[in-house]
Amino acid sequence: MLFVFVLGGMYGGFFTSTEAAGMGAMGALLLGIARGTLNRVTILESLVAALRVTASIFVVVIGAYLFGYFLTITQTTQAIVAWLAALPIGAYGVLALILVGYFILGAIMDELAMILLTVPIVFPVIVQLGFDPIWFGVIIVMAVTLGMILPPVGINVFVINSIARDISLPRIYKGVAPFVVSDLIRLVILVAFPSLSLALPAAMDKPLVQGLRQLLGF
Higher pLDDT, 78 or 123: 123
pLDDT of residue 123: 85
Cβ-Cβ contacts under 8 Å for 116 (sequence gap 6 or more)? 60, 61, 64
| Within a domain: 51 | no
How sure is the predictor about 201, in pLDDT bands with cuts at 50, 70 and 90? low
How sure is the predictor about 214, in pLDDT bands with cuts at 50, 70 and 90? low
Residue 216 has pLDDT above 70, yes or no: no
| Within a domain: 29 | no
The 3 state secondary structure assigned to the chain is: CHHHHHHHHHHCCCCCHHHHHHHHHHHHHHHHHHHCCCCHHHHHHHHHHHHHHHHHHHHHHHHHHHHHHHHHHHCHHHHHHHHHHCCCCHHHHHHHHHHHHHHHHCCCCCHHHHHHHHHHHHHHHHHHCCCCHHHHHHHHHHHHHHHCCCCCCCHHHHHHHHHCCCCCHHHHHHHHHHHHHHHHHHHHHHHHCCHHHHHHHHHCCCHHHHHHHHHHCC
| Within a domain: 62 | no
Cβ-Cβ contacts under 8 Å for 6 (sequence gap 6 or more)? 20, 23, 24, 27
| Within a domain: 38 | no
102-144 pLDDT per residue, tens: 888 777 777 777 787 788 888 888 888 888 888 888 888 888 8
| Within a domain: 84 | yes
Number of domains in the chain: 1
| Within a domain: 82 | yes
38-69 pLDDT per residue, tens: 888 888 988 898 888 788 778 877 877 787 77
| Within a domain: 161 | yes
91 neighbors 125 (Cβ within 8 angstroms): no
| Within a domain: 108 | yes
- Residue type for position 191: V
pLDDT of residue 200: 66
Domain that holds residue 202: 75-218
